[in-house]
Chains A and B, each alone.
Chain A
Amino acid sequence: MPKTIEEINEKISSGKAVVFNAEEIIKVVKSKGLKRAAAEVDVVTTGTFAPMCSSGAYFNVGHTNPRIKLGGGSVTLNGVPAYTGYAAVDILLGATAMQLDDPLNSIYPGRFVYGGGHVIEDLVSGKDVKLVARAYGTDCYPRKHLETWIRLEDMNEAVLFNMRNAYQNYNVGVNLSDHVIHTYMGILQPRMRNATYCSAGQLSPLLNDPYYRTLGMGTRIFLGGGIGYILGPGTQHNPCAPRTDRGVPRMGAGTLSVRGDLKQMNPRWLRGASITGYGVSLAIGIGVPIPVLDEETLFHTTVTDADIFAQVVDYSEAYPNCVPGSLGEVTYAELRSGSIRVQGKKVPTASLSSYARAKEIADILKGWILQGKFFLTRHVESLPSVESGLGPRPLVERPVANGPAKAG
């Protein structure tokens, strides 16, 4: 008997909802069978905690007296530039923005000690952050300089706003060259002496609903320790990536765009990351509840690490030069065991995504639902899925000397 979101919410409000995390549900379905479990279980909770670079936050810092128009001017927060191309006191800060005087990779490999991700973590921790602004001055906004301390609680609005999070699966990074390389997949030792991966596998949100049947615009989620919402597909959303028989993508596929009130969030689930030789990012905790609407939804949540494959990619030559193909396919069960075999060689593995924290997130979300503090929402628009034909395209460069293409 299919269930509706409304029926599940009634059970949550009467304290009768049956909830398991995406790891527990595997055993539950094994012992009860799909049919009985689908009738009994209401929600499966998922989680992920990893660096997600396409993240950021926007703020309304409030009006000064006399007024200043930050829009079109320049603003830094603890020395990290924010984007000012909005109205008078609205600014946007990206996770990967760097302090203006950072040596970056000019002393290789750069340490990238402090950037946008760290500013967001500091604000969420309740710390004072130094705001320095220059403006050009107008008749209605005469002020040209501003230098002040500011905290999250001082701001009118502070919103985490991420273009691309929660990648459905990802590459396994290795290095075939004869020298160490520094990548967003971490430090990769020469001649494939290590491999890194970045997914919570069987706990990861989109791997538990591979065709995006239960989520979309308006889905309420755990975001950074507070409540957030899915806005729609993230950038580079790629539902048409190759899939296994049970529908699980074999490589990076779907993505989410999310937002949430930064004032509710917690630095345990929002952490600035300094990736040696690469840059700054923001590690974000995301948990998505999957309503068990029918047997098919439940079936997809029983995915195990042994069912999820990832492609091993060389980050010394193939990745930087967009050479397609893979050095081999491995499962998350193998990756989590501590070593994989690639082309006959045993390679030690390490993760950039925290499985332990992903499970903690799934359990927190489960707790919220069991306590009647978190209700499910019905999404108002689905994410594009396999039938959409959508996929990211590369940038085709056209010589500027040839002039712009004719419109139409």
Chain B
Amino acid sequence: MAQMKLVLQFPANLIEQPITYQLIKKYDLMVNILGARITPREQGRLVIEISGRKKNLDAGLRFLEEIGVGVEPLARDVMWHEERCIECTACTSVCPTGALSVARPEMRVTFNHEKCIACELCVPVCPYKAMEIVSK
């Protein structure tokens, strides 16, 4: 089993094609969509976690490149600077996946990196610069 997090860039002419479907059906890959931004008739950006047998994964990635989908590893990562965090909980209501969460009733804040999809919503919300985007 191989697994990776990728950013897929779809040019305008590919937006209306069921490409994710083909990755699943034709290449037997598991695709978990972490984030998607699609502008009609312009372009699309899909952040996915993809896993499957190494051979299938390589073939799937070749397929994407051949049809013109830009494939890049997810290069951004979100870091929680625990020493800067004051545990106010301001970030926890904007986090879409629950990666930033509150343990009640103590109201202690925790960050589960596994659940983070690097959507960056927490960054401007934190007054203490405790959430930072870093390049891998």
Contact = CB atoms under 8 A, between A and B. Distances in A.
A273 B127 contact: yes
Interface string A337-350: 11000000000111
Interface stretch (A96-104, A286-294, A352-360): A352-360
A336 interface: yes
B128 A187 contact: no
Interface in B116-133: 124-125, 127-129
Nearest to B92: A350
Contacts of A51: 127
Interface string A19-60: 000000000000000000000000000000111000000000
Given A186-B125, A187-B94, A276-B124, A271 B102 contact: no
B129 A274 contact: yes
Contacts of A169: none
Interface residues of A, number: 32
Interface string A352-376: 1111110100000000000000000
A104 B94 CA distance: 24
Contacts of B104: 336-338
Contacts of B92: 350
B85 to A, nearest CB: 9
A351 B127 contact: no
A325 interface: no
B113 to A, nearest CB: 20
12 contacts: A49-B86, A109-B124, A111-B124, A186-B125, A196-B90, A283-B128, A349-B93, A354-B86, A354-B87, A355-B87, A356-B107, A359-B106
Nearest to B125: A187
Given A187-B124, A194-B94, A338-B102, A356 B108 contact: yes
Given A337-B104, A338-B104, A356-B108, A351 B129 contact: no
A12 B108 CA distance: 31
A351 B102 CA distance: 11
Interface string A181-199: 0000011010000101000
Contacts of A351: 88-90, 107
Nearest to A109: B124
Nearest to A196: B90
Given A271-B86, A348-B93, A349-B93, A276 B107 contact: no
B93 A194 contact: yes
Given A186-B125, A187-B124, A273-B127, A352 B105 contact: no
A164 B135 CA distance: 41
Nearest to B129: A274
Contacts of B90: 186, 196, 350-352
Contacts of B128: 271-274, 283
Contacts of A354: 86-89, 107
Contact of A353 (B88, B91, B125): B88
A355 B105 CA distance: 10
Contacts of A352: 88, 90, 127
B34 interface: no
A50 B107 CA distance: 14
Given A187-B124, A357-B86, A336 B107 contact: yes
8 interchain residue pairs of minimum CB distance: A273-B127, A350-B93, A355-B107, A276-B124, A356-B87, A348-B93, A354-B88, A351-B89
Contacts of B129: 274
A111 B106 CA distance: 30
Contact of A50 (B88, B93, B109): B88
Contacts of B91: 350
A189 B93 CA distance: 10
A350 B86 CA distance: 13
A135 interface: no
B101 to A, nearest CB: 9
A352 B88 CA distance: 5
A49 B127 CA distance: 13
Contacts of A109: 124
Contacts of A281: 127
Nearest to A273: B127
B28 to A, nearest CB: 38
B89 A350 contact: yes
